[in-house]
Amino acid sequence: MSYSAEISRSNPTCFVFVIDQSGSMADPFGGEVAGSKGDFVADVVNRTLHDLVIRCTKTEEIRNYYHVAVIGYGGAVHPAFLGELAGRELVPIAELADKPARIETRNKKVSDGAGGLVEQQVRFPVWLESAASGGTPMCEAMSLAQRLVEQWVNEHRNGFPPTILHLTDGASSDGDPTPIANAITALKTGDGNALLYTCHVSSTRGAKTE
């Protein structure tokens, strides 16, 4: 399906992150990055949120092209933002940029201009913490995502459809989420159906699959 709706301040789109925070996310990640699966996922989501902020930054102004939600599920299903955004569901990207829970200083390898790499300190905003407890109430979490997406398409009939990004390491503990996933992708704007992607993270190192 081809999508063509322009994304603008008057016609924004939304991203919904659905994050597995069950007890097994405390297990080691099987890739090249040290730490738990929960650490890896939180890092990826924070980096992605920062990238979305950068994409909306024009001449030092952050334009509300996107609204963003982060849903965590494990011991409970809940909006997973920290700090001032705690408890919030869909948040405009400019407000997200203005209210990270904290700013960390991290080292990043960048080109030295001569074919090598040097370490450089960078500011790293954090909106989401790693968490791992309880079961895997995937159906409940996807139902919350469905509600947010349904609300969005009802209010933005002609916009670019919502994108849902689901990151998990295992199977649902509260039933089969397939019917809910199908209901989400059946939701649509005039530009097309909602987009749902699932990323599986594992403790076993292996080749990436598409």
Beta bridge partners of 13: 66
Token digits for 87?
A: 């408890």
Longest dimension (CA), the chain: 55
Residue with tokens 């569901």: 89
Q: What's the chain's length in residues?
A: 210
Closest CA to 167 of 18, 66, 23: 18
In this structure, the number of other CB atoms found within 10 A of the CB of residue 66 comes to: 23
Token digits for 123?
A: 């500011």
In this structure, the number of other CB atoms found within 10 A of the CB of residue 108 comes to: 11
Distance CA 208, CA 46 (A): 21
Q: Quick one: pLDDT at residue 206?
A: 58
Kindly report, residue by residue over 106-150, the tens digit of the pLDDT. Answer: 777 777 777 777 777 788 999 999 999 999 999 999 999 999 999
Q: What is the mean pLDDT of the chain?
A: 91
Query: Do residues 163 and 145 lie in contact, with contact meaning Cβ atoms separated by under 8 Å?
Result: no
Query: Do residues 8 and 166 lie in contact, with contact meaning Cβ atoms separated by under 8 Å?
Result: no
Distance CA 90, CA 149 (A): 10
% of the chain residues with pLDDT over 70: 94
Better-scored residue on pLDDT, 98 or 32: 98
Q: Quick one: pLDDT at residue 181?
A: 97
Lowest mean pLDDT, pick from 149-153, 192-196, 202-206: 202-206
Strand pairing category for 13-20 and 163-168: parallel
Q: Quick one: pLDDT at residue 167?
A: 96
Q: 3-state DSSP: the chain helix, strand, coil percent, rounded to 5?
A: 30, 30, 40
DSSP 20-84: E-SGGGGSBPSSSS-SBHHHHHHHHHHHHHHHHHHHTEETTEE--SEEEEEEEESSSEEE---GG
Is 90 exceeded by the pLDDT of residue 5?
yes
Is 60 exceeded by the pLDDT of residue 208?
no
DSSP 197-209: EEEE--SS-----
Kindly report, residue by residue over 9-68, the tens digit of the pLDDT. Answer: 999 999 999 999 999 999 988 766 668 999 999 999 999 999 999 999 998 899 999 999
Q: Quick one: pLDDT at residue 99?
A: 97
